[in-house]
Amino acid sequence: MARIDVKGDIITNDYGWIYELFEWDCIYPKKVMDIIEASAPDEPLDVYINSGGGIVSAGQEIYSTLLSHKKRVNIHIEGLAASAASIIAMAGPSEISPVGMVMIHNVSGGAHGDYHAMEKSAEVLKQYNAALCAAYCAKTGKKLDAMLTLMDRETWLTADQAVKMGFVDRIMETKPEQMVASEFGIRLTQADIERAMDIKAKREAKANEDRSRKESIMSDLDKYGV
């Protein structure tokens, strides 16, 4: 079994190293692909989800990767599958913990500029909603308008409701796992990025200093024929 943990924030590849530097839970498309490529050809993929979501484009890419891959994909919702994580949860046969939840809502974003820019941003967000709705419709068999209405209301579903509405196939028979707190969106701020870059620069400087010291010692040893 190849295990993929969708825990914490769903982020783009560019932010992966920062989250891993801080030891924050995260998942990103390249990490998923690396796990798939490292697994045996006939090995199924088991995806364990407990995430409040994150960056929409990253969630779309992970969903598409799982959906299009030849391996069998099994989805296990251990806690929360919300926002972008709920899209990933639609990528295969699924089960949910008795205490698990699914949440779907409209895509959010920001814009700068005049009223034309604002109108354009609103239209793009609506198109994003329709694009993500395709995953819900494919899984549940429900029509687009019905799914868009649920997204517009920010709909929270218990395990029973998620199964009855077709978002999940069945409820787990195992013991329920402990619920944990979860944030929506990603926690990464500009200050975090700057802090990570500073840590990285210091580590690289120390590595270069250690390398120079080693080279100097080796040079002295050669000089004196040691």
- Note whether 19 and 188 are within 8 A (CB): yes
**Residue 105 is a catalytic residue:** yes
Question: What single-letter amino acid sits at 118?
Answer: M
Rounded distance between C-alpha atoms, residue 146 and residue 165, angstroms: 11
Q: How far apart are CA 5 and CA 62, in angstroms?
A: 12
Write phi, then psi, for 13 (nearest 5 degrees).
-55, -35
Rg (CA), the chain: 22
Catalytic status, residue 83: yes
Cα separation, 117 vs 222, whole angstroms: 67
3-state secondary structure of 50: strand
C-alpha to C-alpha distance for 174 and 226, rounded to whole angstroms: 66
Catalytic residue chosen out of the listed positions 51, 83, 94, 97: 83
DSSP 14: G
Q: What CA–CA distance (Å, rounded) separates 156 from 20?
A: 30
Full DSSP string of 198-221? HHHHHHHHHHHHHHHHHHHHHHHH
* Measured distance between the N- and C-terminal CA atoms of the chain, rounded to whole angstroms: 53
**Which of these is catalytic: 86, 94, 97, 105?**
105
Token duo for residue 1? 């079994």
Active site residues: 83, 105
